[in-house]
Structures are given as C-alpha cells and as structure tokens.
Amino acid sequence: MGILAEDVERVRAASPIDVVVGESVGLRRQGTRSVGLCPFHTEKTPSFSVNAELQVYHCFGCQASGDVITFVRETQNLGFREAVELLAGRAGISLRYDDARTTGAARKRSRLVEAVEAAAAWYHERLLSSPDAAHARGYLRSRGYDGETVRQYRIGWAPDAWDELVRGLDLGADLAKEAGLGLVNSRNRLQDVFRARVLFPVFDARGDAVGFGGRVVPGIGRPNEPKYKNSPTTAVYDKSSLLYGLNWAKGEIVSSGEAVVCEGYTDVIGMARAGIGRAVGVCGTAMTERHLTALARFGRRLVLAFDADSAGQGAAERLYQWERTHEVELAVAALPPGSDPGDMAASDPEALRAAVEHARPLLGARLERLLDPPPASPEAQARAASAAAALIAEHPNDIVRESYAGQVAARLGVDPRHLLGRSREARRAQPPAPAAAARVRESPALLALALAVQRPEAVAEVLDEILFDEPATRAAFAALAGTATFGEALAVAEAEDPKVADLLRQAAVVEAPDDAEDVVAVLARAAGTRALRWLEDEARRSADPLHFQAEVGWLKRRLEELGEPATRSAAVGQLVPFLRQRAQEAR
C-alpha cells in the first residue's frame, strides 16, 4: 500500500527543509541559501547547501542531492514510506494509504518485488525440504553452512527442471519475464531462468527481494555451465548499482564508518560468519562508480577484499579518481594471493579478520605485493624499482608519491631521487587528469541554469535551449522551460534521468551571478564559436567556399558584438534563431 500522493505533498509542505536539515547539520545563512558541513561525507569546509525556498539540498563535495524526504531517508537509512511517515509524525499529519492511487511505477515495482519474494520463499523451501535438493544441502554443509546460515540468508535450490517455478507460482509469461524469473524459449514455452543451482536471493538496501545469484553445485547439471549466473536486469534488479548484503550490513557500516567490498555472495556470508558484518558484494560485475556512491552514503572508508589489480592497469587510476571525487578512502585487505574470503572464513577466520583489519591504502597494498618477496639480485632490484616507479606515478598526489618513493627506495637500497625521477617520467607519459570538479561546478551552463531556477524573470527573454551544448544541462533547461514551477520541472527531470534532476537541485543552491546578460553572452559565444568552426569546416570541404563567406562574416560580427556590453543583448537575440536553424540543418 502506498501513501496518497496528495498526503506526501502535504508532508513535504509542512516540513521546511532548512528546519529539518538544521536539526542535524549546523547551517549558516548565505544569501538565498544556507550552507553547512555535509552529513554524507567528511569535510572541513562546508560544501553542503540548502535552498529553503525551492526545498532542495545539494553537496558540491560528494554530489548528494535531494529534497526533505531524501534527506531523512539517507541520513536515517529509511525507505521512502518510512521517511514520509516520520516527517508526518513530526508535522502532526495523519496519512491516508491507498493502493489504487499509487503511481504506475510504484505499483509495478511492488508487483515485481512480490514475485521475486514469492520465488525466494519457493526456492528456499525447496532447498530445506525437497529430496531433489539433498545433493545441494550436502554441498552447502561441506562449505560449512549450517541450517541457521541457510535460513538467515534464505538460500534456495532451483531444481534441475524446466518450469517448476513458473508453474508452481503460476506466474504469467509477462510477470515472469519482467521479474527476471522466467524466459520464453525457442519453442515458445515459458521456462525458469535458473536450473540446478544453489540460489542466493539478492535484496536491495531496504530489504526488498529483487533478484538472485545462482551457483552451480559440483556434480549436478550440465557441464560447461558458468559457475555463477545472475538474474537478468529488470526494473528492480540492476547489478551495476546493487550490492549484495547491504540490507544487513548498513547498520554496521554506519556505526563503523567502513564497508568491506567483496566479489561474491559466499564472500559476504563468510565475512559475516567471521564476525565482519559490514561486508557487501558486487553481483557478478566489476565495482562501478554507482556501487561506490551507494556505499559512500553509509561509510566513507571502503576496504576492498578482492584483487584490485585484476581489472588491469586503468582500474587503479579510476579508483584514485573516485577517492578524490567522492572523498572516500579506499584500502585493500591484505589477503594471501589467490585466496577466497568465503573459504578463509571457514578455514582461518582469524586470518580473515586480520587481513581486513590491516587493510592498506591502495598504493601501499600494490607496492607491498610487488616487493614481497624482496628481489634478490641487483637486476631484479632494478626491475622492481622501475615497476614501483610506474605504480607510484599513477597516484595523483605529489606528497603521497614522494612518501612512497622514499619508502620503496629505502627497502630496495636505491637512491630515492632516482626513483622519483623515474616516476616523474612515467607521469609525463600519462594523459592529463580530467578537469577538477571545482571548475565544473561553476561552468557558465550551470550558472545560466542557476539563473533560470532562481531568477527566471532575469533570463526568460534571452536564454534558449539551443545555447546549452551538453545534453544534461540542455535537458535540465528544457524541463524548466516546459513547466510552471521548479517542483514540476524536477518531477519531469526525475522521470527522464535522475542525473538531470540532480543538476537542477545543484542549480538551485549554486550562487547565481548578478549579471544575467553576461552569463548568457558567454554561453552564446561558446555556441556561436562552435557554429563558426562548423561553417569554416563546411566551407573548406565545399566546392564553392565563397558561398559560405557571407554567413561566416555575419557570424563573426555577432561574436564581436557579444564582447560589447552595448550590443551583446541584441547579438544574443540574433544568434539564437540562427543557431536553431543550423541545428535543424545539421540533423
């Protein structure tokens, strides 16, 4: 059952965001906004901003973004409904519930979750009691899983049969497919997705069953089957952002500030059995930035309990980048090479706990592996020094690089200057790092959006969609232009792409510039220059370059006028229809 949309709106209206946020964050007023230290990441200078008038917050440090309900959800680890109920209680509003009036998306979601939940119960029961699951039960016992563990994680058994689940639950083809439980085979028959596998149900952060990870049992099923198989992507199961075990681990992650990231289901369960209840697992995929942002809401230190080098060279660079942009600390658990946390939990839980406890920063862990065992001959030392210099070179911070270079040089008995020199050479050979987030956040397009959000009257006549080059800012502006209020624009953007909605909230809290005309002129100049380059290109390729001369000349004069305060407004007015025309021709 859902809360009436009307009541959600009443709760929102009765819960001023600056008041609710102010109860846990010290806010200082700054013009139209209030700023404070972000509750979602550790920082010393405030980058968390609230716009009370538009009822949104945004953090420039970690990109956390939302409204009063999101804030309560994410600071208190609640689901949407629980957060609304909490705020309603605060405001003295009694809520009405009505299933029929919940939105289509929410209805669909709950239908899929119900189906996956029913499947989880069915598979679990099958494992516990069915004769055909005896072999699977034996296998789990051999891995050290007792009945309590099996019940706690609701582990199940998918029989070695075609369609027992979809028939047993009487799932229609549409629902079975949408929930990732069934598929229609080449003979047009509905069959189960999972066969002859031990199943680990996967729950989202709030504990709803959304999908499965299935493992083959040695000796059962067809040979050459992949060891693990996961649910196909559905409206509720997306492995690029889901983390197995987050529903159980989030409490301990919040209280310890640390999460342990594993590669698989059995690793997460093994960690918990070894007393580490803050472990989560990626579901059959490499760790993505979305996994990281999902985790960073609960804890800022992430211990990787898998081979961080296995994803190759570029992987480390990406991890360093994430450390900076999301202000998280990444460490690597010192697991023995080739070891499996799931197995270690049974064979040597003490060693597993020690490995997590002694996790080292990413670069330190990689160097350790390189230098252990220590190279014996001078030639091996020279090779190790070169390899270490290359690893050190990847780190973006020069103080960190110098410090590690000193440590490695001392261990290898070489001159630290020599090592640093090598590392500098290696750095020069690398492509430059992407622009810092600080600069992106003040881009002219964002400032123009800020004006469109905060002082729409100042830009209503001059700002046009065509002036935004980047798809996300363009979509954000289009949402604003097509709706009457900021709230409606947010709803439209949210439906299209949550990133666009984030951008709108960011625009609501960024300091809008005083000179609206100037910002629009900067955007127009960028768009005009792009068009000029395009025209000049066309002219070069054309058999009749003179044909373009008049247009190129006209455009150059408008670009000059953009630089003069007296003429810039008129120039924008002339450029916009020209650019629209161009865009149409280019299509």
Contact residues for Zn ion, defined by CB under 5 A: 38, 40-41, 59, 61-62, 64
User: Smallest distance from the beta carbon of 48 to Zn ion, in angstroms?
Assistant: 6
Residue 532 makes CB contacts below 8 A (sequence gap 6+) with: 552, 555, 556, 559
Q: What is the 3-state secondary structure (H, E, C) of 365-399?
A: HHHHHHHCCCCCCHHHHHHHHHHHHHHHHCCCCHH
How many CB atoms lie under 10 A from the CB of residue 565? 10
Helices (H) and strands (E) in the chain, counts: 28, 17
Three-state DSSP state, 216: strand
Q: Which is nearer to Zn ion, 56 or 64 (CB)?
A: 64
CA distance 179 to 202: 13
Give phi and psi for 531, each to the nearest 5. -65, -40
H or E segment at 25? Answer: none
Reduce the DSSP state of residue 415 to 3 states and report it: coil
Q: b/e map of 495-504 (b: 16 or more CB within 10 Å)?
A: eeeeebbbbb
Shortest distance, position 87 Cβ to Zn ion, whole Å: 22
What gap in Å lies between CA 79 and CA 69, rounded to an integer? 10
126 φ, ψ to 5°?
Answer: -60, -45
Q: Measuring CA to CA, which residue among 376, 389, 287 is closest to residue 330? A: 287
In angstroms, give the least distance from the CB of 327 to Zn ion: 7
CB of 61 to Zn ion, least distance (A): 4
Tokens 């009765």 belong to: 14
Nearest distance, CB of residue 302 and Zn ion, angstroms? 16
Q: Could you tell me if 193 and 231 are in contact, meaning their C-beta atoms sit under 8 angstroms apart?
A: yes
The nearer residue to Zn ion, 63 or 473, going by C-beta atoms, is 63
Omega before 159 cis (within 30°)? no
Element (H, E) at 361: strand 360-361
Identify which of residues 7 and 67 has a Cβ nearer to Zn ion in the complex: 67
Q: CA quadruple 431, 437, 443, 445: dihedral positive or negative?
A: positive
Q: Quick check: 298 and 253 in contact, CB under 8 A?
A: yes
64 vs 57: CA distance, rounded Å: 8
**Whole-number minimum distance, CB 44 to Zn ion, in Å?**
12
The torsion angles phi and psi of 434, rounded to 5 degrees, stand at: -60, 160
Give 49 or 454: the residue with its C-beta nearer to Zn ion: 49
Which single residue is written with the structure tokens 């009405």? 96
Of 327 and 561, the one with the shorter C-beta distance to Zn ion is 327
Nearest approach, Cβ of 234 to Zn ion (angstroms)?
31
139 phi and psi, to 5 degrees?
Answer: -60, -45
Residue nearer to Zn ion on the CB measure, 81 or 326? 326
Write out the DSSP string of 481-504: HTSSSHHHHHHHHHHH-HHHHHHH
Report in angstroms how near the CB of residue 57 gets to Zn ion at its nearest: 10
**Min dist. Cβ of residue 43 to Zn ion (A):** 7
Going across the sheet that includes 243-244, the strands are 243-244, 279-282, 258-262, 301-304, 329-332, 360-361
Closest Cα to residue 391, out of 407, 372, 405? 405
Q: Considering the complex, what minimum distance in angstroms separates the CB of residue 68 from Zn ion?
A: 17
- Residue number with CB closer to Zn ion (59 or 133): 59
Q: Determine the length of the chain.
A: 587
Query: Minimum distance from CB of 451 to Zn ion (Å)?
Result: 24
Q: What's the token pair of residue 314?
A: 């570029």
CB of 19 to Zn ion, least distance (A): 20
Please say whether the beta carbons of 127 and 139 come within 8 A. no
Q: How far is the CB of 108 from Zn ion (least distance, A)?
A: 32
Beta-carbon-side half-sphere exposure of residue 283 (alpha carbons within 13 Å):
27
